[in-house]
């Protein structure tokens, strides 16, 4: 659950500052990505945990209202639902403080039944235990199901031992973290290309998409390294960038599964991310496919 705080600016150290509004909005990277993928045109099954609390009930109801299959969403008897506190400044810039809660209580046994089914892809992020990330990748690889990873938030994860990744999509800070570098080291296309190549070699992922926020995304395919380049973002008036990255990655994944064309998929994802940035909150900002297509039609 996201606690979104609207304020003119961030308080200084030791300062109390009056905000203008707060609200509780359904969020969580996995849930955001599930809803975004569903609205972009996919049939989505969600695997995860929430707490046995009011937030957990609301989060499940929100997923079901969005058409997500929640058969494998468990209510943990002890851990509370995850919570994110998100201060949002007037210019749309935000900071996110995450308490994972029940997300960190997922067990390998939670994967048993879902992997008896057949899926076109598995999407993962780093707000769950590393053991579960690793086990999911292993099972998906054995079942020849491609994996798309949104590598956030920054974590100490051994990328060399995650098989089956088709697309790895960190933002710049996350990419630097995975490589043990400072984000400033990834300035410029040459540095981004070197970083993407290192990530691909480290993990074996054939496709790397580094999200650059309002600057676009750096797209790298190991099979065509000379074509690596920054694809620009769409220019919009940002209200809240909270779920823009989740919208981008999910819509990109859906379009990639449909076409196999990464550049087209990134463009589709960029449109979904741009739309999300123009609205307040996480899941309420995620666009339906018709909205994404209409948005693209106005630019192309």
> What are the residue numbers of the active site?
246
Instruction: Give me the torsion for CA of 272, 278, 284, 288, rounded to 10°.
Output: -30
CB atoms within 10 A of CB 160: 10
Q: Where is 290: in which H helix or E strand? A: helix 289-299
Residue bearing tokens 């900002």: 285
SS3 195: helix
> Do 166 and 206 form a contact (C-beta atoms < 8 A)?
yes
Closest CA to 35 of 217, 207, 289, 267: 289
Q: Transcribe 227-270 into DSSP letters.
A: G-EEEPPPP---S--TTHHHHHHHHHHHHHHHH--HHHHHHHHH
Q: What is the DSSP letter of 180?
A: T
The reply to whether omega before 153 is within 30° of 0 (cis) is yes
């Amino acid at each position: 659950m996201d606690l979104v705080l609207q304020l003119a600016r961030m308080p200084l150290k030791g300062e109390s500052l009056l905000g203008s509004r707060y609200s509780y909005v359904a969020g969580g990277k996995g849930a955001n990505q599930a809803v975004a993928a569903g609205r972009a045109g996919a049939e989505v099954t969600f695997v995860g945990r929430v707490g046995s609390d009011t937030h957990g009930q609301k989060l499940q109801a929100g997923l079901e209202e969005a058409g997500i299959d929640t058969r494998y969403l468990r209510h943990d008897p002890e851990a509370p639902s995850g919570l994110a506190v998100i201060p949002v400044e007037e210019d749309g810039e935000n900071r996110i403080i995450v308490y994972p809660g029940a997300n960190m209580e997922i067990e390998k046994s939670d994967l048993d039944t879902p992997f008896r089914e057949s899926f076109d892809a598995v999407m993962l992020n780093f707000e769950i235990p590393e053991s579960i990330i690793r086990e999911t990748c292993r099972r998906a690889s054995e079942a020849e199901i491609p994996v798309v990873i949104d590598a956030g938030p920054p974590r100490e994860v051994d990328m060399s031992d995650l098989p089956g990744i088709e697309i790895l999509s960190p933002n710049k800070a996350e990419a630097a973290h995975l490589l043990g570098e400072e984000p400033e080291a990834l300035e410029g296309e040459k540095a981004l290309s070197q970083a993407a190549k290192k990530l691909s070699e480290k993990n074996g992922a054939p496709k790397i998409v580094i999200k650059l926020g309002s600057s676009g995304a750096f797209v790298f395919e190991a099979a065509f390294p000379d074509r690596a380049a920054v694809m620009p973002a769409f220019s919009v008036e940002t209200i809240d960038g909270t779920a823009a990255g989740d919208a981008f990655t999910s819509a990109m994944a859906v379009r990639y599964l449909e076409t196999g064309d990464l550049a087209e998929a990134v463009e589709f994802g960029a449109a979904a991310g741009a739309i999300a940035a123009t609205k307040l909150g996480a899941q309420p900002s995620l666009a339906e496919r018709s909205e994404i297509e209409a948005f693209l039609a106005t630019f192309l």
